[in-house]
Structure 1
Amino acid sequence: MYQHAFLFALFLGPITAHAARTCKPAVTITEYVTVTGAPTPVSSLSTPLTTSTSITSAIKSSSAPEQQPSSTETKSQSSAQVNDSLPSSTASSPYADATEVNVNIAAKEQCGNDDRLIMPGMPWTVANSMYNSNRMVGTQCTNYNKVLQTSDKTYLVDWTSTTNIENVADTNDICKGYSNIGIGKNLKKRLSEVKSIPAYYKWSRTIDGEFKGANIYDFITSPVLGAGEEPSSNEFMLFLKIWGGQVPIGYADGPAATFDMYGTTWKMYQGKNTGSGQTVRSMIPDTPFEGEFSGDLKVWLDAMVEKGYAGKEEYLNIGNCGVEVFYGNSHMDATVALDIQV
């Protein structure tokens, strides 16, 4: 499920991806937790850094249960195109007034299997990490477009993810890679030092025919400073929207816990990454997010600490959001704000 294949020169190298599980057993809920904390948008991202920051971000192979198209998606009878458009409530978002700002970073197309742009003066890296490209027939591009700024000085990165990968029977359960935005500022802090993680992910996806993948957040904590995918680490994944019928590690065992946060109920599945040894805990929403997510991700990580899945003195070593890609023909326009505040 979760293989970090592209990580930057700081600490990791390529890892062979684990094939996704596809069985769908009966579900039994063993715990139920109500998480306090407002699911409303958090828009207090700090201003850009003045120097380039080396970003460490995580890649993994994963899958999760298929979610049906909502009323905001339309499918053409002739071309089988799906528009995963934004809900009407987006207009009231505090990010809605964001406009382009000049940060002296030129737009960049990235279609190489390990292309990435470390954004000078900003806390992000835009990465096209196709760590299983040897199992892929086709192309994936992750392009940086521009930076936006809201009236309260929140910065957002505007980017696109374009998938043109054949559905090959022998590899359609293998995640080909991760098209993502990695955060570098204030990583490697103890969870107890982190005050909030304001996050915003807005997308509009068009699918021509079929697409298998998921829009996610991914974080790794560990008692070891700088540890990535290894047995001492804990990996936490938040699935926002899923296409194509995947299931996460541990799905066959049913949910280990259920949480209420960000305005919906989440089932948590857990299991070991057999390749690298870390425990992976994946949150799947009962109601998928249709084109927009906004919230403080510290609420989620605090819930993991409260249940004993991570220690409050563990280090937050990796954080990112993006698209896990399996196959299909799809184009996504996206805007992301992600910050770690200490």
Structure 2
Amino acid sequence: PYTIYVNQWGKDGGSGTSCAKVNSLSGTTISYVNRWNWTGGTGVKSYTNVNLNQGVGKQLSAISKIPASWKWSQTQTGTIVANVAFDLFTAASAGASNQYEIMVWVANFNAGPISAQYGSDGKPVPIVQNVNLAGKSWNLYKGSNGAQTVFSFLTSDGSQINSFSGDLNDFIKYLTANQGLSKSQYLTTVQSGTEATSGDAVFTASAYSVTVQ
């Protein structure tokens, strides 16, 4: 049901590697390890992720739920810059270019979301604060990566969620109800992993599962 992409798309902005190994797969539950080490530059070097191959390509209005479960841990050496996040994309049709990116960050290690607004302290400014979804309170950020409009949900209190269990469709439904995301858009991509910028870390997903229903 999944493909693991090492996806070292920004590797030329620094030096290092990211590698991944699958430990087990049972039904829709996968266990894997991602070791990465990057130096140089402030841009993301890799987004090593688990990509869902089944159930995508549906119109948002036709999706009832996207149950996801993710238990993970991480060890790191020194200071790292990275996140741990779900990454969803939507497009006007199943084969069209992606127009929207929806990120749900379950951890933030000295990184920051894409934002159209920044405060005088240089930190991104959320467009909405304290949105309750999937049993947690979130701040929502909005910006552009040059190709897509990006919505990023980060925990309001900055806490990590090392054991996430919830419906990712709750985040989509919030955006269609409140932020102008059209229900006629198609869900093209569901991924999860670590956007790594710099540092040395070993990320272990002991159990990860997601389905689109």
Normalised by the length of structure 1, the TM-score is 0.57
Unaligned runs of 5+ in 1: 1-122, 150-154
Partner of 2:132: 260
The alpha-carbon deviation at position 245 of structure 1 amounts to: 3.8
Does the 8 A contact of 1:228 with 1:318 survive in 2? no
2:53 pairs, out of 184, 191, 212, with 184
Query: Helix, strand or coil for the counterpart of 2:94?
Result: coil
Using the alignment, how far apart are the partners of 2:18 and 2:43 within structure 1?
15
The alpha-carbon deviation at position 325 of structure 1 amounts to: 0.7
Residue identity opposite 1:238 in structure 2: V
1:330 pairs, out of 196, 201, 204, with 201
Is 1:320 aligned to 2:176, yes or no? no
The alpha-carbon deviation at position 290 of structure 1 amounts to: 3.7
2:152 pairs, out of 255, 258, 282, with 282
Query: Helix, strand or coil for the counterpart of 1:305?
Result: helix
Partner of 1:161: 34
Partner of 1:226: 95
Does the 8 A contact of 1:249 with 1:273 survive in 2? no
Partner of 1:207: 76
Superposed, which structure 2 residues align to 1:26-45 within 5 Å?
none
The alpha-carbon deviation at position 211 of structure 1 amounts to: 1.5
Q: Which has the higher strand share?
A: 2
Residue identity opposite 2:211 in structure 1: D
Using the alignment, how far apart are the partners of 1:219 and 1:148 within structure 2?
23
Partner of 2:121: none
The alpha-carbon deviation at position 186 of structure 1 amounts to: 1.4
Does the 8 A contact of 1:228 with 1:317 survive in 2? no
Q: Identity percentage over the alignment?
A: 24
The alpha-carbon deviation at position 244 of structure 1 amounts to: 2.1
The alpha-carbon deviation at position 251 of structure 1 amounts to: 4.5
Residue identity opposite 1:162 in structure 2: R
Is 1:248 aligned to 2:114, yes or no? yes
Query: Helix, strand or coil for the counterpart of 2:173?
Result: helix
Using the alignment, how far apart are the partners of 1:251 and 1:265 within structure 2?
21
Unaligned runs of 5+ in 2: 119-123
Residue identity opposite 2:100 in structure 1: N
Is 1:303 aligned to 2:169, yes or no? no
Residue identity opposite 2:128 in structure 1: A
Query: How many residue pairs get matched?
Result: 205
The alpha-carbon deviation at position 318 of structure 1 amounts to: 1.2
Is 1:143 aligned to 2:14, yes or no? no
RMSD: 1.6
Using the alignment, how far apart are the partners of 1:300 and 1:222 within structure 2?
16
The alpha-carbon deviation at position 279 of structure 1 amounts to: 0.9
Which of these two proteins has the greater Rg computed from alpha carbons?
1
Using the alignment, how far apart are the partners of 1:313 and 1:243 within structure 2?
35
Does the 8 A contact of 2:69 with 2:163 survive in 1? yes
Query: Helix, strand or coil for the counterpart of 1:174?
Result: coil
Normalised by the length of structure 2, the TM-score is 0.90
Using the alignment, how far apart are the partners of 1:243 and 1:262 within structure 2?
21
